Structures are given as C-alpha cells and as structure tokens.
A and B are shown apart, each in its own frame.
Chain A
Amino acid sequence: MGVLARILGVAGLASGGHLDSVTARADKAEARLAELKTALASAREELDRLKEKSADQARRLIKADAAAGRAAKAERELEQVRARDEKHLAQLSEMRERVERAERAVALSREHLMATETKLDIIEGAISVLDSRTRT
C-alpha cells in the first residue's frame, strides 16, 4: 500500500481501486449467500421428504408389527385347528371302523337270520307233511 492510501485511510477514505476490490468481494459474498440460501432450501425440502418417508416407514413398521402379531395368532389358531382336526380324523377313523364292524355284524346277523328262516321253513314243511300223513 502506498503513501496515498495511508493518507486516505487516515482521512477515512479509500482509493477507487480499493473500493472496486471491496465491492467485488461483497458481490461475490452476496452471490455465495444466495447459493447457500438455495442449498439450504433444498436441504430443507430433502429433510421434509426424509421426515415424511421416515414417518411412512414408521407407520408401515407399526402395520407390519400388527400383521406379525396377527400372523402369530393365526398360526397358533391354525395349530389348534390342526390339533382338533387330527383328533376329529382319529375319531372319524375309529367311527368308520365301528361302522364297518357294525355292518359286518349286521350282514352276519342277516345271514344267520336267513339260515334260521330257511330252517324254520323246513321245520314248518316237515310239520305240514307229518300232519297230512297223520290225517290220511
């Protein structure tokens, strides 16, 4: 810095070159400020989006938790139904066997009944024959 500049400085003044230089720096700073403002706005928007996404995922997580709870419950219920089903199947199988045994017993009884009826026919016939022989 030259003598002139020091003199101007003492008087509280600045040279034109210095003023230009300062003005340029001020302009640059202003531009930078605008850029930063824009970036800040962008960052805010991004933050809002992330917040929204986070909230959405939190909601989904809550839903998923609820679904998982329901699924576990459903699985427990399914197990219970399965257990009941197996019990019913066992009962059904036993019932079926009993019905088959009963059917065999009925068939056998029916056959014995027919054999008995046949024998009764024979006895009745014999009595009839003996009766007619006695009367002649």
Chain B
Amino acid sequence: MSSPYLSIVVTGRNDGYGGDFNQRFFRALRFNHDKLRAAGVEHEVVLVEWAPPADAPLLADLIVAGLPDIAPSVLTSYVVDPRYQDACTLNPRMAYLEYVAKNVGVRRARGRFLLATNTDIYLSKGVVDALASGALEPGVVYRATRTDVKLGADESHVDWPLLEDERNHATYKKIQPPLYAGGSGDFILLDRDSFHSVRGFNEVYRLARLGVDVNFLVKAYASGYRIADIGSPVYHTNHVGSFRISKSVVQNDAADVRWGRQEWPSHDVIYENWDGWGLREAPETALRPGVTRLEFSWAAVPPLVDLKRIVLPAKRVGQE
C-alpha cells in the first residue's frame, strides 16, 4: 500500500464530549476530506478511538454508517483497549489521555507528513493550498492560527465563505515566533520521520492534557527543528466544554477531569519518550478493513515512573 502525502491524526470516542461530538467530527471530516480530495492531496485520516465506552457503538462503526465513502478507503481507526487509560494515567481523575492517544496515531500513520489535530477543526483554503503545493519542507513544524467560529453559526452547510466571514469569528489570537504556540493541539504538521525523531508528544508526564501540545513545540525547538506559521488559519467551531469557553466556569475537580493538571512547566521542561511510545508493543487485532483493535498488554504500557526521561531543553526560547 503506497504512502499518502498527508496523514491527519485525530482522537475521539463516542461519549458525547462537548455535546454532539459525533456530528461535529463527521462534518469536519467530510469537509476536510472533500477539500483535500478536490485539491489532489493524497491523504488518510487516522482515528484513535481511545478507551471507548463499552455501552455505546464504536465511533469507527458510526463513521462507516454515516460516511461510507470515506471509511474505509481514507479512514483508518485504532480502537484502544480501555484498560490502557487506567494503566497509563498518572492522574486518575483525568478521563482522557489525549496525547498518548495521538501518539498511537502518529506511530502508525503512513503519510509523508503528519497533521496532529482535533476532530472539529476545519482546514482553511490557504492550508489546503499549502498542502497541495507540495512545498512543505521536512524538518519544519508547521503551525496555524486557530480561529474560533461562533456558536450558532450555521454549521449545517459549512464552507469557506462562512468560515472566512469575520462576523462569525469569536476569538482570534495570531501565533507568534519562535514557538507559534496557542491552540497548538489543533494544528501541528511535521514530516513523519521528524515526528518520530522527536518521539511524539510527551508521554512521560501523563497528568495533563493542557500544555502537552506546546511542550511538543518546546521539545522540537530544543531539538533544532524550525517552527513556522503555515500562513493561513484553521477554524474551530465553538462548543460547550471547549477549554476556551469553559476554562473560567469549570474549576477544580471538574477541570481536572477534563484537562488534568493545568499548572505545570510545559514551556521549560521536556521529555524523552521511551522506545515503545505510542503503545508500539500493543498487540493488534484487525476487526475489519480499516479498523484495528489495540489489545491490552502490560508490555505496551510506559513505565509508571521514569524520571530520567524528564530533562531540561538544551536550546531554550530567547537563547539563540
């Protein structure tokens, strides 16, 4: 099987996160797939269905039913045994190890370039054009400004004019060098070899969701990778439960459940994941074409404590 130019790595599960999770995911998936296909960008979507609830249908199955033309030709799903959440976590109150899940996809994606993003992110025309141009450079971490589209904007017929219309924009924070941080989890694009060389997202400090994305940028920067703005935004439709909307109202235990520890030195301390990052050793069972289940094995679980893998960056921001 030939490798596509682009792998889009996302994670999610059928748990109604943020209200109507599935519909938001399907709309964005349909949109991005259609735009990339129209632009001639060979791509795959890697969905990591992390610890799915036992009492609900698999998201992978719902996609087959809802978007039959996308699955299984474009979509590859990895259904991760729920025991990995409990075995991997260092924060029992945090319900979702988002970046260990993304590492599962990063480790297995086949594309020449990997885009780690979220399920409700719409690519802009500029981003699709940049991907179609074939001008992306290996060894460069590409970032995009995230623009939030207001709740209530008509999402049934999402298209670029709607997304680009500034009247629909809720928040907008231009990313700045050198890290181009800010909404980083929504768009980190890097060639596969470099992504693997950095060893994916931090899975030594498994207590937080917030800050793990920027921590990746700090590590990439410290490792000598250039970080650049791809020059066009991505769009995110605001929803109940998103961090930007909810951070001021959700506090303490509830915040810990959603986002884990919020105060940790993600800009200052980096990591060196173990060789088995991304659940490399997890036994795989093919459920059907395009859907693989990662069976539980302690051999795939990173050490509970591996302190030597917490390190200080050799090259820091502000020290050129």
Contact = CB atoms under 8 A, between A and B. Distances in A.
Contacts of B206: 125
A111 B310 contact: no
A126 interface: yes
A125 B312 contact: no
B92 A128 contact: yes
Interface in A112-136: 112, 114-115, 117-119, 121-123, 125-126, 128-130, 132
B264 A126 contact: no
B220 to A, nearest CB: 18
B269 interface: yes
Interface of B: 89-92, 204-207, 261, 264-265, 268-269, 304-305, 307, 310-312
A118 B90 contact: no
A62 to B, nearest CB: 66
B304 A118 contact: no
A19 B90 CA distance: 153
Contact of A118 (B89, B92, B205): B205
Contacts of B311: 115
10 contacts: A111-B312, A112-B312, A115-B269, A115-B311, A121-B90, A125-B89, A126-B304, A126-B305, A129-B89, A129-B304
Interface centre among A112, A115, A125 (most CB of B within 10 A): A125
Given A111-B312, A125-B207, A126-B305, A118 B264 contact: yes
Mostly, the B contact residues are loop
A129 B312 contact: no
Nearest to A131: B92
A111 B218 CA distance: 14
A122 B92 contact: no
Given A111-B268, A114-B265, A125-B206, A119 B312 contact: no
B291 to A, nearest CB: 30
Nearest to B313: A111
Interface string A24-56: 000000000000000000000000000000000
B290 to A, nearest CB: 34
A92 B144 CA distance: 47
Contact of B92 (A111, A114, A119, A129): A129
Contacts of B312: 111-112, 115
B256 to A, nearest CB: 12
A122 B268 contact: no
Contacts of A126: 90, 304-305
A115 B310 contact: yes
Contacts of A129: 89-90, 92, 304
A118 B305 contact: no
Contacts of A125: 89-91, 206-207
A122 B206 CA distance: 8
